[in-house]
Amino acid sequence: MLLILLTIVWTACGKPAYQDIVKTKEPLGHTYYVATNGNDAAGGSLKAPWQSINNALAKAMAGDTILVRAGVYYEKISFTRSGIPGKPIVLKAFEGERPVIDGSRISVTGWEALVTMTNVQYIVLDGFDIRNLTTPVKGADPEGIVVNGNARQITIQHCNIYNIKNTATLENGRSGHAILVVGNGTQPITGVEIMGCTVHNTQTGTSENITLAGNVDGFKITHNKVYDTENIGIIIADGGGLNPGGSTATNFARNGVVSDNELYNVSMANSTDIWGINNYGAIAIYICGGTNTVVERNRVYNCDRGIGLVSENNAYPTKNVIVRNNFVYDNWRTGIYMGDYLNFTTAGTYDSYVVNNTLYRNNRTTGAFGEIEGEIRLTERCFNNVIRNNIIYAGPEDVFIHKYTTTGAGNIIDNNLYYTRGTPQWIWNSVDGASLKTMDDWKAASGSDAQSVYGVDPLLLDLTVPDLHLQAGSPARNAGVVIDASIHGLTDIDGKPRIVDNRISKGAQQ
C-alpha cells in the first residue's frame, strides 16, 4: 500500500507546474515587467515596466509571466489570482538578476508574511531573495512565505530566504517561519514543491524553517539548503498546533518526498541567550505526526539532532515513513530518532523503515538526562519499524542503538554494520543504564541483529573531512539484504542505481 501511495504522489506532484508551460500548445499569455524605477501607470512592458510587484499580480491572468528586475522591493506581496492547469501565473526574477523582497520597513505585530498565497492555484515563485522581517513583539510570528487555505499546485524555487527573526523571549512566544504551508482550508493543499531554495540566518524560536502542517496531501521538498538556524530545519507535521480545528482524519501532512537536501548548523547553540548552554534539541529533518513520507539522499551534519520520526500530539502518530540513503554525521546528539518524547506524548512511531543510511560520529554531547542518546535512538512506543542495512560508525564513547523504555513491539533490527575505534556500546530498555559491550550481549538482550556485523571497518573514504563514501574494498559493498525496491529506492546518495544485479550495499552508497 505504501508503494502505491508514493507512486500516486510522484505522479501527482512530481512534475513542476512550470514545466506545463513548455508542453502546452495554447497561447502562454503575456509577459510583464517590474522594475524599481518603473511606473504603475505604465504598460508593464520591458521598456515601460511597472514599479510594484503587487500591481503586477493584481493584473496577471492565467498563463502570464511577471519578470522582476534587480533591486529592493519594500512591499508585502500577495497572490490574489490563480493560474489553471498548463497556464500558471509565474512570478520570476529577470534572467541573470536577483530581485529582493525586503521587510525591513514593515512593523510586525501579529502573524505577518512577506509573500502570501491564500486560496490560489497554479502559482510559480522563482528566484527571489526574501529577507529582513523581524519583530520583538509578544505573540507575533514573522514569515518569509505563507501558503494556506485551499491553495494547490504551488511551486517555490531558487529563492534565498534569510533574516526572518523573532527576537522575543520564549515566554513571549518566540516563533517564526521561513516557509509555512498550512492546510487549513476546506480542501487539502496539494502539489506543493519547494526546490533549490536556501534558508539561513533565521530565528524561529519554538517553530521551524520549512514547515508543512495540517491538511497537506502531496509535496516535494528537494535540493534545498538550510543552515545557521536556531531550531528545526524541515518539518512534516500534523496540524494540531497550526490548524487545531481540523479533522484528525486529514489534519496532517502526507504523501510526499524530502530528498537531496543539505542541512547543517541547525542548532539551538546559535541562540544560547535564549536556549541556554548545552541545549541541543533541534531536529534537522523532522517527521512529526506526518505520514507516507520518504526522506532520502539528504546530507545532515553539525546539527543538534539529525532525522526524527517523532510525534508531539497524542492524536497523530508518525507512521509509514521511509528514511533511506542519507548521510547523517557529526551531529551533537542522536543521528536518527524514533518514538515519542519521554513522559510527554503517547502517539508513537509506526510501520516505518530506516534503511541504508550511513551514520558517523554523532552524539558529541550527552542528552537531557546526561545519557548518550545513541546513533539511532528509540524512545516510547515504536511499533513494527524496520532498521536494516545501515552503517553505524560510532565515536569512541558513543552508543550504537539506544532503546529507552520497554514500550513498543514488532520492530526488526538486522543486517547492520557496526564499527567504532572505541568501546562498543548498546543500551536496551533503559534511559541511562549500564551499556551492553559485546555484540552477543546486545543480540541476547534485544533479540535482534542476528545477521548484523560488528568490528569490521567499513572503510569510509575520509574520516577527517569527513567523506562517508566507501573505499573500493569496503566490506559494506554488496553486503546488505535486498528487501524491496520500493523500500530501498531507485538511487543511492549519489543518484546512482541503488540495487545492481539484485545486490545492495550497506549504507547510503551503492
Read off the pLDDT of residues 17-65 as tens digits, 9 standing for 90 and up.
333 333 434 457 999 999 999 999 999 999 999 999 999 999 999 999 9
What is the domain partition of the chain in residue ranges? Answer: 2-488
Identify the three-state secondary structure at position 462.
strand
Give residues with Cβ within 8 angstroms of 292, minimum separation 6.
Answer: 2, 5, 6, 9, 254, 255, 256, 320, 321
Predicted confidence at residue 20, as pLDDT, reads 39
Mean model confidence pLDDT for the chain: 94
Residue 6 CA from chain centroid, whole number: 17
Strand partners, 198: 160, 225
Q: CA–CA separation, 158 vs 149, rounded Å?
A: 24
Mean pLDDT throughout 287-307? 98
C-alpha to C-alpha distances, 481 to 410, 449, 497, 503, nearest whole angstrom: 19, 13, 15, 7
Closest among 244, 157, 227 to 192, alpha carbons compared: 157
3 pLDDT above the threshold of 60: no
Q: How far apart (Å, rounded) are the C-alpha atoms in residues 372 and 182?
A: 35
Check: CB of residue 193 under 8 Å from CB of residue 223.
Answer: no
pLDDT tens-digit profile of 110-137? 999 999 999 999 999 999 999 999 999 9
Neighbouring CB atoms inside 10 A of 118's CB total 16
pLDDT above 70 (res 294) = yes
Could you tell me the pLDDT band of residue 344, with boundaries at 50, 70 and 90? confident
Segment 426-448 shows an average pLDDT of 95
pLDDT score at 27: 53
Answer for the pair 325, 354: CB distance below 8 angstroms, yes or no. no
Q: Please check the confidence at residue 312 and state whether its pLDDT lies above 80.
A: yes
* Distant-in-sequence, close-in-space partners of 122: CB < 8 Å, separation ≥ 6: 17, 62, 82, 83, 84, 85, 87, 88, 89, 152, 153
pLDDT of residue 43: 96
pLDDT for residue 4: 35
Task: Report the percentage of the chain scoring pLDDT > 70.
Answer: 95
Considering the domain 2-488 in this protein, what is its CATH number?
A: 2.160.20.10
Torsion angle, CA of 293/297/300/301, rounded to 10 degrees?
Answer: 160
| Mean pLDDT value of segment 154-162 | 98
Per the CB < 8 A criterion, the answer to whether 350 and 384 are in contact is: yes
pLDDT > 60? residue 1: no
User: DSSP letters of 363-377?
Assistant: -SS--TTSS---SEE
Q: Which residue type, as a one-letter code, is found at position 432?
A: D
As a whole number, mean pLDDT of residues 369-395 equals 97
Is the pLDDT reported for residue 252 higher than 80?
A: yes
How many CB atoms lie under 10 A from the CB of residue 37? 8
Nearest C-alpha neighbor of 447 from the set 406, 488, 484, 482: 406
Helix (H) / strand (E) element for 22: namely helix 19-23
Residue 436 is given by DSSP the state B
